[in-house]
């Protein structure tokens, strides 16, 4: 049984993600941020439900559409916002930007610009856990439906199963790889079948049901510790286009609107009211608190300096490379 406080926390976190993404979209639309970004509006429950089910000691590798996953993990929104604004106070000093939000020291292995690449890396992280005998620790690797068409997916599945690693593969199935729907990209769009040849158990769930996601990943966490990897397909939808240049020509307004009716935050709010864990007034308050937190983050980012140009070549290598051994 999930406690009400936890549901409220997850609800608040989903709003924090939504407000973050809306604000980023606003600045991108005005051309005030350099670069591109992939917004996860509509997919918040997959990030929050999955990552809240983990323990503090666990590792997470995010997707290409990873802002929400980083926020769900607990990454500071000030430094994330500053990163996307390209500032020195950003998580990666402005060198990574939207696609490379990472905090490896804190166990967030980051998002990745190369689709599928995160899966072998997650295998290695889980292998290290096994080698270091971290017995109650897992790796959660999130990736999109599109990435499951990469060879990396299949190689990672095979290695993870062979080595029986504590690894949860979460496929955030938003039905599209950029403009190509899974019906057009997959000979068989049933993603759960893709792990079966490797002897990996799989399950397909409603990715917009925060409780269902949380419970499934909680169970999977226990399962992978003793049995090796598992695949969870979390079915969801991105309300926005793939990136800022996307005019949504490949989807109908009706399709997008039908998914907006299944908005994960709205659904979580209805649940909180139904179980009397919060009042209408509380829900409004949670939303405005999140908006205020994000306003502060934007202020922090705007007021932050850009990295000093003389530091541009720092961080290519660790330590002194040319050494007098």
Binding site for another protein (CB under 8 A): 59, 90-93, 95-96, 100, 102-105, 109-110, 112-114, 117, 119-129, 131-132, 151-152, 155-156, 158-159, 162, 314-319, 321-325
- Smallest gap, in angstroms, from Cβ of residue 185 to another protein? 20
Strands (E), the chain: 59-61, 108-110, 139-144, 167-173, 176-177, 180-181, 201-206, 230-235
- Under a CB-based contact definition with an 8 Å cutoff, are residues 8 and 259 in contact? no
Nearer to another protein by Cβ, of 292 and 314: the residue is: 314
In sign, the C-alpha dihedral spanning 50, 56, 57, 60 is: positive
The SS3 assignment for 118 reads helix
- Smallest gap, in angstroms, from Cβ of residue 20 to another protein? 19
- Smallest gap, in angstroms, from Cβ of residue 171 to another protein? 18
Nearer to another protein by Cβ, of 121 and 273: the residue is: 121
- Smallest gap, in angstroms, from Cβ of residue 27 to another protein? 21
Report how far residue 129's alpha carbon sits from residue 123's, in angstroms, rounded to the nearest whole number: 10
- Smallest gap, in angstroms, from Cβ of residue 5 to another protein? 32
Considering only CA atoms, which of 106, 81, 110, 84 is closest in space to residue 95? 84
Nearer to another protein by Cβ, of 160 and 278: the residue is: 160
- Smallest gap, in angstroms, from Cβ of residue 156 to another protein? 6
Nearer to another protein by Cβ, of 104 and 284: the residue is: 104
The values of phi and psi at residue 169, to 5°, are -90, 120
The SS3 assignment for 292 reads helix
Q: How many residues does the chain have?
A: 325
Nearer to another protein by Cβ, of 42 and 96: the residue is: 96
Nearer to another protein by Cβ, of 74 and 120: the residue is: 120
Contacts of 225 (CB under 8 A, 6+ apart): 135, 136, 138, 166
Nearer to another protein by Cβ, of 147 and 208: the residue is: 147
- Smallest gap, in angstroms, from Cβ of residue 93 to another protein? 4
The angle formed by the CA atoms of residues 176, 113 and 79, to the nearest 5 degrees, is: 110
Contacts of 50 (CB under 8 A, 6+ apart): 72, 140, 142, 170, 213, 214, 217, 232, 234
- Smallest gap, in angstroms, from Cβ of residue 129 to another protein? 7
Report how far residue 82's alpha carbon sits from residue 19's, in angstroms, rounded to the nearest whole number: 15
Angle formed by the axes of helices 77-84 and 280-303, nearest 10° = 50
Nearer to another protein by Cβ, of 45 and 200: the residue is: 200
């Amino acid at each position: 049984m999930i406690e009400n406080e936890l549901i409220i926390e997850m609800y608040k976190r989903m709003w924090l993600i939504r407000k973050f993404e809306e604000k980023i979209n606003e600045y991108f639309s005005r051309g005030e941020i350099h670069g591109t970004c992939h917004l996860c509006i509509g997919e918040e429950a997959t990030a929050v439900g999955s990552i809240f089910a983990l323990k503090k000691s666990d590792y997470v590798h995010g997707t290409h559409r990873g802002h929400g996953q980083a926020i769900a993990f607990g990454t500071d929104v000030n430094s994330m916002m500053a990163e996307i604004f390209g500032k020195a106070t950003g998580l990666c000093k402005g060198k990574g930007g939207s696609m490379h939000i990472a905090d490896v020291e804190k166990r967030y292995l980051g998002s990745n610009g190369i689709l599928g690449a995160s899966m072998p890396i997650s295998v290695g992280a889980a292998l290290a856990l096994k080698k270091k005998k971290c017995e109650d620790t897992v790796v959660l690797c999130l990736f999109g439906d599109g990435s499951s068409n990469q060879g990396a997916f299949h190689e990672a599945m095979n290695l993870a199963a062979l080595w029986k690693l504590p690894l949860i593969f979460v496929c955030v199935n938003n039905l599209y790889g950029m403009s190509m729907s899974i019906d057009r990209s997959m000979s068989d769009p049933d993603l759960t079948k893709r792990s079966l040849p490797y002897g990996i158990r799989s399950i397909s769930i409603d990715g917009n049901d925060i409780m269902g996601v949380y419970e499934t990943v909680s169970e999977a966490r226990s399962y992978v510790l003793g049995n090796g990897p598992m695949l969870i397909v979390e079915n969801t939808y991105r309300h926005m286009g793939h990136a800022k240049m996307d005019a949504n020509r490949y989807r109908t307004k009706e399709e997008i609107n039908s998914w907006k009716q299944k908005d994960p935050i709205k659904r979580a709010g209805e649940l909180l009211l139904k179980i009397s864990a919060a009042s209408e007034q509380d829900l409004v308050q949670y939303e405005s608190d999140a908006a205020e937190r994000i306003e502060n983050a934007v202020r922090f980012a705007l007021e932050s300096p850009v990295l000093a140009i003389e530091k541009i070549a720092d961080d290519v290598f660790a330590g002194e490379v040319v050494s007098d051994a």
